[in-house]
């Protein structure tokens, strides 16, 4: 582990409580509020109880502490190097994270040490100045609750100008692209950030005035055979989705996934990547799309074989 346990929730809460105790400003209300804000619900109860009963002898009955100095949590050189490596990722730099204190540190690794074998190669141009400018304008709109006027190219190359309410940015690791979820009345939609040609901030809006659109989800039921570590891979692969997993016997599991309707093609590719280890049991429409995709792939393979054979005959 790179980071010590002192960066966990318990230590973070206690550091904040002790900071106010050392300053002499801690009250029972502030102690409870700090625990409620920084810890999970069960942890907050545990921390407050341990401090009150003296199990953790850090505060007396009058909320005074034997600790003389405000707790600090300095980073080790290894931790700084790891953070410097993360911050060298062009996608993270889009968010302009603070880098104070890392100026004289070498990154632990370079981004090019990773080789992505399951990702499209036409990802977003994270180093392009115009892309960066548009991305940060969108971030400002999201943070300040402001509308946007966006010019962009549609999927068929048509130019569009929309005045819209931005709701959030989404990232697809498969496509290596960011897309913006918006409401442009009367419809909700998505815009790939790389397709935006200009982007301008407009007036603020209120969440009551323009709530986030309700997304249409679909349900997919799968049967998994746990061979070659398939269960662990599936749990990792679909970790971002709402799901239910049920054991059927020694090796078989039933998995129910709920996904965004607009991500259906990506779901199709992901399911197929498991080969015979994963079988779709419903819905029938998804099964039919898999059949169509496999037929298309078989046809392409035949064409490729015919082409190879013809090339061999020519060479003879």
Residue 148: predicted pLDDT? 95
pLDDT in tens, 28-46: 999 999 988 888 777 778 8
Residue 269: predicted pLDDT? 85
Residue 135: predicted pLDDT? 97
pLDDT in tens, 235-258: 988 888 888 999 999 889 999 999
pTM of the predicted model, to two decimals?
0.66
Q: Give the Cα separation of 149 and 191 in Å (integer).
A: 12
Q: Give the Cα separation of 272 and 293 in Å (integer).
A: 10
Q: Give the Cα separation of 249 and 232 in Å (integer).
A: 16
Residue 199: predicted pLDDT? 95
pLDDT in tens, 156-175: 888 999 999 999 998 988 78
How much of the chain is helix, strand and coil, in % rounded to 5? 40, 25, 35
Those residues of the chain that have pLDDT short of 50 are: none
DSSP string, 166-214: EEEEEEETTTTEEEEEEEETTEEEEEEGGGEEEEEEEEE--TTTSPPPP
Bridge partners (DSSP) of residue 279 are 223
User: Which of 61, 67, 56, 105 lies closest to 83, judged by CA?
Assistant: 105
Residue 117: predicted pLDDT? 75
Residue 92: predicted pLDDT? 94
Residue 5: predicted pLDDT? 64
């Amino acid at each position: 582990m790179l980071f010590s346990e002192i960066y966990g929730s318990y230590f973070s809460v206690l550091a904040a409580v002790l900071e106010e105790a050392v300053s002499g400003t801690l009250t029972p209300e502030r102690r409870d509020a700090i625990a409620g804000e920084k810890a999970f619900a069960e942890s907050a109860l545990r921390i407050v109880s341990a401090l009150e009963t003296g199990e953790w002898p850090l505060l007396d009955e009058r909320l005074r502490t034997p600790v003389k100095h405000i707790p600090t949590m300095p980073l080790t050189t290894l931790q700084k190097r790891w953070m410097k490596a993360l911050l060298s990722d062009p996608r993270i730099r889009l968010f302009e994270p603070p880098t104070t204190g890392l100026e004289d540190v070498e990154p632990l690794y370079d981004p090019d040490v990773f080789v992505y074998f399951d990702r499209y190669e036409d990802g977003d141009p994270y180093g392009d100045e115009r892309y960066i400018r548009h991305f940060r304008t969108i971030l400002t709109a999201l943070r300040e609750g402001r509308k946007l006027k966006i010019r962009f190219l549609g999927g068929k190359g048509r130019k569009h100008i929309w005045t819209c309410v931005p709701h959030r940015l989404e990232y697809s690791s498969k496509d290596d692209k960011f897309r913006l979820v918006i409401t442009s009345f009367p419809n909700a939609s998505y815009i790939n950030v790389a397709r935006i040609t200009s982007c301008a901030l407009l007036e603020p809006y209120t969440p009551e005035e323009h709530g986030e659109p309700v997304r249409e989800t679909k349900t997919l039921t799968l049967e998994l055979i746990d061979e070659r570590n398939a269960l662990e891979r599936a749990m990792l692969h679909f970790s971002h989705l709402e799901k239910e997993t049920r054991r059927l016997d020694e090796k078989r599991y039933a998995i129910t996934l709920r996904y965004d309707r607009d991500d259906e093609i990506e779901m199709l590719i992901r399911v197929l990547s498991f080969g015979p280890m994963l079988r779709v049991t419903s819905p029938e429409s998804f099964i039919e799309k898999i059949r169509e995709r496999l037929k298309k792939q078989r046809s392409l393979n035949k064409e490729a074989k015919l082409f190879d054979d013809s090339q061999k005959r020519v060479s003879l």
